[in-house]
Chains A and B, each alone.
Chain A
Amino acid sequence: MSSPSKTSLSDVSARYPTALLVLIAARLWLSVTDVPKHLQHNQQLSSPLTSYFQLQEGIHLFKNDIDPYSGGSFRHSPLLLSFFATVLPDSRLVASVLWTLGDVVAAWALVQIWRTRQNVVQSSRDTLVAASYLLNPYIFLPTLALSTSSIENALMLLAMMFACKKKASAALFTLSFLLHLSLSSIVMLLPILLLLINDPHSHLASPQPMTKPLRKLWPLFGEFSMYTVVLALISTLVAGSLAWIPQTWGATLTLPDLTPTTGMWWYFFTEMFDHYRPMFLMVFSVHLIIYVVPVCLKFQHDYLYANFILLGILGTFKAYTTLSDPGLFLTMSVIFPETYSYMRHPIVTVLLHLHASLLMPLFHSIWVTQGTGNANFYYASTLVFACANGFALDDAIWSGLRIAIGPSVEGSHVVQE
């Protein structure tokens, strides 16, 4: 939507690193101030599965030879546990630097994805792409709160970047690592495998059925399974038993911790009668999976877009969401500028997000701090947030499909059957 810039390429190549450095410096400065202390326990920024506070607790137990998975509070993967307990010193500053680094890697990966998609070495849009990741409040606030969801985002973008660049092993290893941190990312397996055997360039405007044979997927899937099994073995070795499975992966499926999040699950299962619980847990989990195949079929001409859509579905519907999950989806829309002019209601989506992002902290504090409201207030605001995400998702799907028909002609309309 911005006017085309006429800056020369050398100008651009100088601007991109400077802008990146400034953004990183600002981020680092913020993370060493008092701000993170106030955000650390914010329930919109970190869920029980991604909270830094609980990670620290687990590390402490682990270092004192107590099995962190025997209690009910530690739900991080043993991989993270071993990583933090051995390699890294347990200091706040190091953590801030590490999390900032994670964001930088993610932003870099996003720029790489953009360049690969456009098939260029660099472009004038690079700065915008990086800034849209680093300046997205949905993404940098969880980073300031040291939520591990930021690291999950970085891994997700890395996996996609490797897939775009056809580096199969790297992509599959990153994805299987990500799977260990967050079980819901299994949704991304099929689209990333398909992206690996297809090109990442934009074919939205000229859809073609996929010609590549699907049997190519099997060796890739085998490799992915191998990585996953190896990482699972390492996890078991670290944890000393299989107790980590119900505590980490199991938590995503059985929702033992009903701490409020930005997602749709917690309130529903707070109100649920116990004997319906297993049934609805299954419904909610399966609901996430059912989108995978239809989206991959519909966008078989452009699997990067399928990835994008499925990220939106994850951010809206998965268990234990934080703000950074929908944040990743919204930010990723920056690499599909060709669809913008076909969006139906971008301003409505933006306004809904504005309302939701103001209402959520407000109603949370009215409920928890002020005590004048109750859980329904916060739940209502998460519903507004879900609507906002739904609107964004709907518009992304519509514009991604609509672009194939071309610009609208006076007197004719496009409808979906």
Chain B
Amino acid sequence: MEKTDQEQVAPEQQLTGAKKILSKLKQLVRPTGNVHEQRLRRKMKLTSLITRRLTLIKTAMFVIGYLWMVLLPVPQLGRGTFVDENALQPGQVNTQWNWGDVHAADLYLGQLEQMRDVNYTSERRAEWFKEQFSKLGISASTQNYHFQTSAANMTGTNAYAVISSPRNPGAEAMVISASWLSIIDEGAGTVNIRGVSMILALAGFLKRYSYWGKDIVLVISDGYLDGMQAWLSAYHTPSQSGLTADRLEIPSGVIWTALNIDYPGHSFSHLGVFFEGLNGRLPNQDLFNSLNRIARYTAGVPVVLYDHLDPREDSAADVSFSRVPSFLYNIQFVKSYLYQARNVLRHFGYQYNGRGSGVHGLFHQFRIDAITLFAVPATGPHGFHALGRTIESTLRTMNNLLERLHASFFFYILKEPTWFLQIGLYLPSAILISAAMMFHGLSIWVDAGWMKDDRSKSNEKSLSKETPAPEPEWKRRQRPVLDVLSIMAATHVVGLILFGIISSRLFISNYKNLGQPLFSILTTAPVMIIMPLASQQMFRKDVARRATILKAFNLCFASTVISIITVLNFSLAALLAILLGVPLVMSSSSLQTELPIRMIKYTAYAFIGLGWLLFAQTQMAQAIWDWQILSVWFAPFVCIVYAPLVLQAGISCLI
């Protein structure tokens, strides 16, 4: 009996279960009762769910964001490179560069070495280059330039030549260039002697062939960056402030792509590629990928990033570069991670300050995709022969282009010559941190709008004494928006003034002595101005404190800046996320804290925001030079946006 009972019950239960689900579904599709009430309740449930877990959500976003940054060099992350643009057809031609051309390059090299040893002036050198070009029957010219700004005073002479396209009217051009000073130690003084002789030998070689569909412009620029900047500036725009340069006498077409050759040593083992441009711009990845394939398969030269040899392939590079114990280092994963981390960090170092990694970077400001080929100095086995074949084939590939490079990627982090991170794999790290900051700022803003209402509580107490602990009632209160916005605007104006000061001639000429006083003035001035104001401020419960609102706005604005910079210059955004993320969240606005502690906090912020005046003086002078000569906006950005943001956090600790 019992059994049957159970059997009878079971289907009934099933039926009711099904009915329940059905009725629930019905409720969802066609709700009964007060629809608005249900919607409101649902909304409030969701809101309270989020607000209750807000701290958890914020923390999780911070942790995931920072962790993501650390995990960027994980070898499995990313994908292999590929050539996207069909027209390029890399490595599909037979190269004509032969030992005769190598001999020509060697002859030029001999003469150049003599010139270097007797210390020719720039002008005489350029005149000689022009002569050599002319002897080959190529129209050539020189260009004198002079930079005169508060940070720089440089003079030099460039030489350039144009091989007119035999097939086209010369509406487009490609550039092959070498700077007199090599990329080694960023133009410290090593002469790019084989690079220059390569250009001269290439001039004679390239002129022999009739398949060029674009003009070939050969440029031997003086100095390291200054010469090419003057040449490019004269080529594209009539004037740059602080620069007086000759007009270019030989016109050519629109430049789409450029190769910069850097070959300072005797011979080389690998071709290193430098690609970061000014202001964080990267060249189209197709250019790099084509070169990579051509070098490997046409000339048989391995390609590396920068001058980092792959420890998994070259035993010479297979040494633990940091203090990693050898048993750990020998794990394949760790080795790959460290190698890729080295590449990523080098990339960040070149990108964050907007300076780029070499002469090729200057081309980027005029929308020209350019890279530097760096012959990594070694005792062998490669020389002019392999380099010539690589360049010839790459030029043939560039010659195939029917439109600007546009397919492939412009936003990437190269982790290995054949392995890279797409934008979707690295962007979220900084965005998550910036979103967490935004959430934090918004939650502070919302909280600041409410206060506990004591008065009603006391009224209640007088009326009914039996309720022991009435729930605190919440009342809306005002938030001083305009005051806080004026404080923020004032800090940015201070930043503007700071930028004016540090880019002035007086400051630049002895920045080592003036950095410290400027730092002390800038950090004490806000204290002097704000402390009296803050003490005047009456403590009113029905108005939110300025410090709280300042912190909220500061976080929101910092978050906006970070998320917007990510697209422009990811390295800078990542750096900002690290420097601003947690520190700005930590700024406190509580009145309970003792004044000395608040002062210490403020000083800490002053060091984060303006510490570069004391500890990074050479970098500061460099950044000013970059701004004045190359229009790199890193220096104004730091002065006008970054430092004020940190100062605001400091001020919110004070008031």
Contact = CB atoms under 8 A, between A and B. Distances in A.
A371 interface: yes
A40 B567 CA distance: 26
A413 interface: yes
Contacts of B438: 351
B411 A372 contact: yes
A409 interface: no
Contact of B40 (A372, A410, A413): A413
Interface in B409-441: 410-411, 438
A1 B557 CA distance: 20
A377 B568 CA distance: 12
Contacts of A197: none
B480 A369 contact: no
Contacts of B490: none
Interface string B528-549: 0000000000000001000000
A347 B439 CA distance: 12
Contacts of A373: 410, 567
Contact of B568 (A362, A374, A417): A362
B564 A362 contact: yes
A374 B411 CA distance: 12
A354 B567 contact: no
B564 A359 contact: yes
Given A358-B564, A372-B281, A3 B410 contact: no
A1 B282 contact: no
Contacts of A415: 36, 39-40
Interface in B550-597: 556-557, 560, 563-564, 567-568
Contact of A1 (B445, B481, B560, B567): B481
B40 A354 contact: no
B445 A372 contact: no
A366 interface: yes
Nearest to B553: A347
A3 B478 contact: yes
A370 interface: yes
A413 B44 CA distance: 11
B194 interface: no
A8 interface: no
A224 to B, nearest CB: 40
Nearest to B557: A354
Interface in A83-136: none
Interface in A369-405: 369-374, 377
- Report the interface size class on chain A: 20 to 34
Given A3-B543, A362-B567, A362-B568, A371 B367 contact: yes
B492 interface: no
A359 B560 CA distance: 10
Interface residues of B, number: 29
B482 A2 contact: yes
B410 A372 contact: yes
A362 B281 CA distance: 13
B478 A1 contact: yes
Contacts of B481: 1-2
Interface string B455-486: 00000000000000000010000111111000
A372 to B, nearest CB: 4
Contacts of B564: 355, 358-359, 362
Nearest to A374: B406
A3 B557 CA distance: 24
B171 to A, nearest CB: 17
Contacts of B36: 415, 417
A372 B480 contact: no
A1 B410 contact: no
Given A3-B480, A347-B442, A415-B39, A371 B404 contact: yes
A371 to B, nearest CB: 4
A176 to B, nearest CB: 39
Contacts of B473: 410
B159 to A, nearest CB: 28
Contacts of B367: 369-371
A132 to B, nearest CB: 11
A355 B568 CA distance: 14
Contacts of B39: 415
Contacts of A362: 564, 567-568
A413 B34 CA distance: 13
Q: Give the dominant DSSP class at B's interface.
A: helix
Contacts of B282: 372
Given A1-B482, A3-B480, A354 B560 contact: yes
A354 B568 CA distance: 17
A351 B40 contact: no
A410 B474 CA distance: 9
A54 B481 CA distance: 41
B475 to A, nearest CB: 9
Interface string A1-44: 11100000000000000000000000000000000000000000
Contacts of A347: 442, 445, 556
Contacts of B480: 1-3
Contacts of A3: 478, 480, 543
A347 B560 CA distance: 13
Contacts of A413: 40
A403 to B, nearest CB: 15
A359 B568 CA distance: 10
Interface in A351-366: 351, 354-355, 358-359, 362-363, 366
A358 B560 contact: yes
Nearest to B473: A410
Interface string B266-297: 00000000000000011000000000000000
Contacts of A417: 36
Interface in A278-312: none
B621 to A, nearest CB: 26
B129 to A, nearest CB: 31
A417 B367 CA distance: 54
A38 B68 CA distance: 40
A372 B39 CA distance: 45
Contacts of B40: 413, 415
B91 to A, nearest CB: 26
A351 B438 CA distance: 10
A413 B36 CA distance: 10
Interface string A316-340: 0000000000000000000000000
Contacts of B411: 372
Nearest to A413: B40
A366 B424 CA distance: 18
A330 B614 CA distance: 43
Contacts of B483: 2
A3 B546 CA distance: 13
B568 A366 contact: yes
Interface in B11-50: 36, 39-40
Contacts of A366: 567-568
A225 B567 CA distance: 51
B369 to A, nearest CB: 8
A82 B593 CA distance: 69
Nearest to A368: B367
Contacts of A372: 281-282, 410-411
Nearest to B568: A362
Contacts of B567: 362-363, 366, 373, 377
A144 to B, nearest CB: 18
A417 B34 CA distance: 12
Contacts of B543: 3
Q: Which 6 A-B pairs have the closest CB atoms?
A: A372-B410, A371-B367, A415-B36, A2-B482, A358-B564, A1-B481
24 contacts: A1-B478, A1-B479, A1-B480, A2-B480, A3-B480, A3-B543, A347-B445, A354-B557, A355-B563, A355-B564, A358-B560, A358-B564, A362-B564, A362-B568, A363-B567, A370-B281, A370-B367, A371-B367, A372-B282, A372-B410, A373-B410, A377-B567, A410-B473, A417-B36
Given A351-B560, A371-B367, 11 more contacts: A1-B480, A2-B480, A3-B480, A351-B556, A362-B567, A362-B568, A371-B404, A372-B282, A373-B410, A410-B473, A415-B40
